[in-house]
Each structure stands twice: as C-alpha cells, then as structure tokens.
C-alpha cells in the first residue's frame, strides 16, 4: 500500500465539511491528472534487447451507465456524498501512456512493432472515508496486462490522509502516484521483461 501524509489543521476540516455540506451542496468535479514521467533506473525492461513494441490502448471494466473517467465520489462525515469525481484523461488512457512511457524510457520503440502489450484497468476507485478530524483519500487500482501472450497483473492501494477538504489537486496527485506505482511494478517485473 502506498501512503502519503499531508499536513493541515483538524479544526479546518470540520469547518470545511460544515461549509461544503451546508452551502456548496453536492458538486461534481473533473480532475486533471498530469502525465506519468518514467524513470529508467531499476527498470528490468532495459535489460532485454531493444525492440519495437505496439502498446494497444488499454480498456477499463466499466459498468453499464458509468460515465467515462468517473472514479468515485467525495464524501464527508456520515458518508454524505459531496459529488462525483471524474478523471481527465480517464484511467485507461493514463495507464496506456504510463506503460508506453516506461517502455520508451527503457529504450524500446513504442510506435508499433511485433512485440505487443495490452491491458485492462480492472479497478480504479476513489473513496474518501472521513472522520471528524480527517479524510483518508484512497485510490484502489488494479490492471490486468498481456505481454506477448503472458498474463500479468498489478495492483496498489494508495492512501493520503488530509486534514482539509480532499481537493481536486490532491486527488490528481494521488491518482498519478498510484498509476506511477503500478507502472514501476511493471517495469521492474522480470516476467514482463522476459515476455517482451
């Protein structure tokens, strides 16, 4: 589990929850997530000879009626909903780009080739369980991948405690951190390197 601590004031959390619940009402939001920046150090993908790789656009297991990019909702004390959160780009695009970045950082060409990587985001869910003092903003993510016929799967549960309202910026950074964690697991996996 990836965990990040944030500093703030507990009293402000209560005040913010009261203000948001009483005044702002339920507000859906769209969160922009920056692109993943791959780091080749420690990547086992660089240990195999350089090759051309086709990274097929990842898909996502999405229920009927679920909007693209929607990952959950922010809640406050008492599990009261404060609005849905949608990522842009959506998780499947973020993972496609992150895996492509890891391969490119390892020296492989990702503009198409006989080696093939595909994947499905099986889970990317936001929850914001709240107490009277803080929120534990949580992203629960999992990806099933196929590298030239070899099935691989990676998951992480990323948590950031905050004593102030779970902002769009916080959710965006935590989403990026969770995607980076899973992309790093892929790049450091000997099975993935051998399957290339």
Q: What is the mean pLDDT of residues 106-122?
A: 94
Q: Beta 80-88 vs 70-76: how paired, if at all?
A: antiparallel
Q: Are 57 and 93 in contact (CB under 8 A)?
A: yes
Say which range, 22-26, 62-66, 125-129, 189-193, has the weakest mean pLDDT: 22-26
Tokens of 71: 């990952």
Q: Please tell me the predicted confidence (pLDDT) of residue 15.
A: 44
Phi, psi at 119, each rounded to 5°: -165, 165
Say which range, 13-17, 34-38, 101-105, 143-147, has the weakest mean pLDDT: 13-17
Q: Please tell me the predicted confidence (pLDDT) of residue 39.
A: 86
- Residue 124: helix, strand or coil by DSSP? strand
What does the DSSP 8-state code read for residue 141? E
Measured from the Cβ of residue 67, the count of other Cβ atoms closer than 10 Å reads 10
Return the H-helix or E-strand segment holding 137. strand 135-147
**146: Cα separation from own chain's centroid:** 19
Per the prediction, the chain carries an average pLDDT of 87
Provide CB contacts within 8 A for 88, sequence distance 6+.
30, 31, 32, 33, 69
Q: What is the mean pLDDT of residues 122-143?
A: 94
Say which range, 8-17, 79-88, 111-120, 149-158, has the weakest mean pLDDT: 8-17
How do residues 178-187 score in pLDDT, each as one tens digit?
A: 999 999 999 9
Nearest to 142 by CA among 92, 97, 100, 106: 92
């Amino acid at each position: 589990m990836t965990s990040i601590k944030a500093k703030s004031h507990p009293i402000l959390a209560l005040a913010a929850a009261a203000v948001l619940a009483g005044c702002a009402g339920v507000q859906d939001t769209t969160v922009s997530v920056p692109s993943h920046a791959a780091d080749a150090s420690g990547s086992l993908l660089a240990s195999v000879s350089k090759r051309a790789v086709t990274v097929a656009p990842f898909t996502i297991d999405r229920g009927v009626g679920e909007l693209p990019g929607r990952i959950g909702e922010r809640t406050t004390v008492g599990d009261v909903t404060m609005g849905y959160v949608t990522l842009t780009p959506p998780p499947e695009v973020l993972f496609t780009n992150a895996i492509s970045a890891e391969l490119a950082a390892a020296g492989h060409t990702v503009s198409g080739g006989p080696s093939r990587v595909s994947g499905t985001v099986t889970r990317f869910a936001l929850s914001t369980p709240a107490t009277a003092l803080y929120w534990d903003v949580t992203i629960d993510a999992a990806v099933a991948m196929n590298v030239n016929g070899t099935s691989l799967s990676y998951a992480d549960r990323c948590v950031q405690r905050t004593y102030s309202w779970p902002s769009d910026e916080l959710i965006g950074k935590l989403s990026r951190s969770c995607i980076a964690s899973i992309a790093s697991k892929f790049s450091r996996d000997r099975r993935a390197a051998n399957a290339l």
